[in-house]
Structure 1
Amino acid sequence: MTAVEWDEVKRLAADFQRAQLSSTVQRLSERNCVEIITKLLDLKLLDVVFTTDGKEYVTPQQLSREIRDELYVHGGRINLVELAKLLNVDLSQISARAAEIERTDSSCSVILGQLIDKNYINHIAEEINEKLQQQGQVTIGDLTRHYDLPSDFLQSQFIIEKQLGKTIHGKQDKSDPQIFFTEAYVARNLASVRGALTAALKPIPISTLLGQFEFLVQTIVDKLMEMKQVPGVVTGKQQGGSNMYIPAIYSKSQNDWVNNFYKQNGYLEYDALTRLGISDAQTFASVEEAITTGSMVDIMPLLPSLFEPEDAEEILSDVLKNVKNKFPSHNVHVFCNSMLLTDQFLQKLSEPFSAVIQKKAEEIVSSGAYLLAQAENKLQNNKTTVEQEETNTKVDRREERRKKATGGKGGGGTQGRETKTKSTKKKYQRGKTTAGDSDEDVPSGGGKTAKSAANKLEVIQIEEIKDMLSVNKQFQDEDLIELIPEVANYLYPSLNKSGLAAAQVIFESTMASTVQNRRKTHSELQDKLNTMIMNVRLFEKGLKHFNDKELQQQLVKYLLKSLCSEITNEIFGYVAQENMIQIEQNKEMTPEVRVKVMNEAPNECKEPLLKLHKSLNSNSLDEFLTCVESALGPGVCDMILRKADKKKERTTILAHRQALLEQLAGADDPALVLHLTSLILFQAATQTMLHASGRFVSNILTYLHSHLTAEVFNSLQKYHDMVLKLLTMSSDDEKRPGLVRELREGMSAIKEIASNFKKVTSTEKTQQSAE
């Protein structure tokens, strides 16, 4: 190897060693980073928010921290649009994070697209308090314009009303909740208004004061009137702005002029009164006008402003003395001290209640409340009668003893009579009252109790009368609202009495209809029960064809459980209805329900019903029929149990066969078809009816073996075996569809046997067997 080549080898070895000792640095391109982040986002392993230029990402948590930082920097209030520009994030993302901050942090709120924290709210409260102390009053309107925030947010949610009495030292105006003031401000205005009202010599509209003092005038005026610091009164309606302050000196001058003029001249002219300032002088004749027109009048606005309601009542009572002489046939009533209402007006108020009372009367009758009240009233009257009889008995005994005592030991003589009289008097003076007084008190007390029991039922309540009067156009004026309770209390007795009278008419009509329906129901139920009992007797004849006593007993149990139980339930249901025992009519009557009916039934019904109830478990149809006859008899159901009728029995047997054939024609279930066929064949062979369930089909076919041809019997037996196999086969058995198809194919033949069967005599059967 030449020197040149060797140098090349050394150089390569050095490069190789340098390469081995050097560390590898791997760097990802921007595109690779974008792809990785995109993949992580697709796999939902990373949650980031894009900036508006799409070059940067930020996590939601970091975005929330940055929003809070900006909120702090801006003093606790920042617009979300401005926040989106500062953070270079879409507005929707900023809004979502702001909403999340508001949800998780109770000290932050989003108001009109602005994020506001508690520190800013406290700062606003302090500023409002400073402004309030400087100006004396602030309004929500001014604060809304100044802070650019909603009025409800400033007033009620977070700031003023919440901080009132704490950070903000002031009070809220009761007449205008959007005005807040200090006590010093009220004192200054109160002094100014008091001076203006005290110096007034003629009526001043309150609206004029509003123009002078701007705020709190009505509150100040009400306070001054309450404290009686101004000589005058306020009349008119505050809401309409028509209220006026009338100085006492003005009212006095009017009264003095009117009285002096009337004394000197003996008359008054309406024109003169109008010039004096009394523009409604003619309305002072409103009492007579209200009586003649059958309306109402409130005399309080017609009287001088210094008069109180008690004064109005006294004046009205004096006026009515003269009016009653002038209008003797007109009745009037005074409510609320100053309001006069005529009978005609009250009658008009009562007219809208007619339909309501009629409807409520129907409701209390249909609900049974009226009947219950009548029963309680009758019970109370009976109790009172018993108490009176006991009292009268005691009185008679006392009278006897008194007469004997008066007669003396020997039956005569003045000395003996005087002695007994003295001792008797001392004896009776030891009680609280004399015997005569006690006797007089007892009957009156009983009468009151009975009357109160009769008046317990309310057709209409006072609150309902108030509600209806409040929507009456006659009471839409706010000044008449206080009249509603008194009128309602006055109308209540007559309206309730009318309702009770209407309820009595409805009840009597309902009872007449009920009696007619009960008679019809009684007759229908009697026929139904007689038919069912006749069926039981016919079914009993049918089951006696079986020689097996155990089988007969099973058929008897089934008959008692089914048809006999239905008869029992009909009887118990009728007793419950007649004696108003509450049971659920639409549900099956269980033994527990029957026991309830027995317990609540009258005493004369309990024993027959109990025996009938127990006979269902006696396994004896004779005992059941005996108990049925007793339960249907007098004192319980008052029904007649008819004797057996051969003609009706034959008709019933034919009708039963026809019903079975019709049911068979519409049946498509193999088991039901075989069941109906066996019953029809049994009736055709024995000329008797049989009541049996499907579990007795094999026993019926065994009995019919001697009455059927071999071919018919084999067909029925084969079909019976296939039905049993189907009933014991599971639903997912592979052979089931084929067996079902075979049964349906043979169903028409089985129905044909039932429809065309004729009883085969022993001779015919022998001939068929020989052939």
Structure 2
Amino acid sequence: MDPELLELQRQLEAAQSARSSVRLSERNVVELVQKLQERGIIDFELLHTTSGKEYITSDHLKHEIKMEIKKQGRASLVDLSDTLGVDLYHVERQSQKVVSDDPTLMLINGEIMSQSYWNTVTEEINEKLQERSQIALAEIAAQLHIGSELVISILEPRLGTIVKGRLEGGQLYTPAYVSRITAMVRGAARGTTVPTNLPSVWNSLQQQLQEMHGASGVSVEGSFFQSIFNGLLKEGAVLGSIRAGGQWTPAVFAHAQKESVDAFFSQNSYIGYDVLQKLAIPQPKQYLEARYPDGIALDAVFVHPSVVDMLDTAVGDAIDNGHWIDSLSVLPSYITGPDATRILSICPSLQKAIKSSKAVLFGESCVFSNVFIKKRNTMLSGNAERRRRLLDNLQKQIDEAVLDMQLYEKALDVFEDDPATSGILHKHLLKSMGTPIVDKVLITLDKDRKLKNGMEVEDSEDEHVQLSTADRTSLVKDLPGALSLKAQALIEALEGKRFNSFMDALRDILEESGLTFKKLDKRLERTMLHSYRKDLTAQVSSESDPVSFLPKVVALLFLQAYNKALQAPGRAVGAVIALLKDKLPASTYKVLADYHSTTVKLLALQAAATDDEEDCASDRMREKKEDLEERLMPELKSLVLGTSKE
């Protein structure tokens, strides 16, 4: 080295190491700097440190900031202020200039971050991702104390380079894990054979993952499943269609839908829209019209043209043969009235017949030929006359029966104090007089209903027909509305215990039928009682059978005593005789009581007779009968008829 240069270096070193004899105070330095600034010698900005003992230039502050960022990669402005000893205000100003001059830096939320820092961070994220297969962005953001949006902006440009993974729905996944999830989604989609809500499928896959890996398993968002599914659908890896709301319809189901519809339609020549709705086919009417252009779309069903041809043939036959037809009886049971009307409107034979006045359409489904209508009108005209005669005949029979029943009903009042006998007499009148008139009324009303409706009715004599309870109930059900209710009440009264209730029910049904209930007045009652007395006296006088004689003579004596007509069954005769005790002379009552006692014994012997004691029983029965015929009957006749004549 040059000796002169070496000498200069030695002198400089000596000068630097030598102690100055002149020292300036801090005040002198400050005044000196101010003078230099006033004279323009220092023409750049000087900044005070927070300690107030140093000056620092803006450029040097910027340099210090850059050095700190280069060393740390990420620095908080607050930390820089403390480290550099400069007020935060100056640090913020110079930091903004540093960041604006260097595109690799960013200032966010009071922190300066470099790209090298993010490269290092993303390398660490990638290492952790490969270990765990998945990382949540929220977790990364929490660890780095930054927002999730910033994490996404940092990760996205580095995906596939530094970070080997896929970002989806707030999660980072490794390619291997994505492939695994893709396989699960593909399998689930291909295994679905019916329309399915995809969110429910994703929930099932999520549960499956949790069962496989436990609580520490990877959490997969439904949006990730959906994103993978959309990709598979676009690639053609899964076949089908998806509607808004995530409703997935596999291609295999759509194919099965078509086969089911084709099979049903070809077999039945019709198909209801609800069948398609059960097959999950939306807008069934439009679907069928597009699939079967020749078919006919009705309100509730879609039919093949052959259905129209079939109905047209049946309607044509009915018109040609002078009949009528209900199209619903020909059409499939699935077809209702409005749809039947629509089909009839396109039947050529019907439209032709209507135009030529050979047929008419009634209601929604019935077709009547004019020939049938004319025949029916003729029959209805004849039926009107038959109905009039039928009801007139019933009225005559009812008049006679109702008067007789009212006449015999008055005798029931005498036995009100004897409930047992009263009950027997009520039931006897219901059975002997009520039953025939009820049967006659029901049979006649049923005939009238049939004639009114144009039905065939035979002119048979049924005056002596006795109906069972089931027969009466069946006839009542066929009667219209209020008449049916009144008829049911009549049957219930007939099966009851009070004759007066029956008479009320009979009056109600007669009024409902338009018939009259003839009331028994005093004058008519006297006339009927006189005729009844005369007839009963003749019967008692001519009766030769001792058993049949007893109820007749008791009825005559009751009429003489109470001036009331009585119908009493054999088991009530004893009670009637007891009632007559105070009304008859002692001699007459004694003969009557003996006659009754002997008759009861005779009937008891007849009932108890067996083959083993035939001879003995016959002798006793013969004795009793002879006693009645030869002694008691003539004596009783003499007493009763003598009184009657008086």
Pick the TM interval, shorter chain.
Answer: 0.3 to 0.5
Larger radius of gyration: 2
- TM-score, length-scaled by structure 2: 0.40
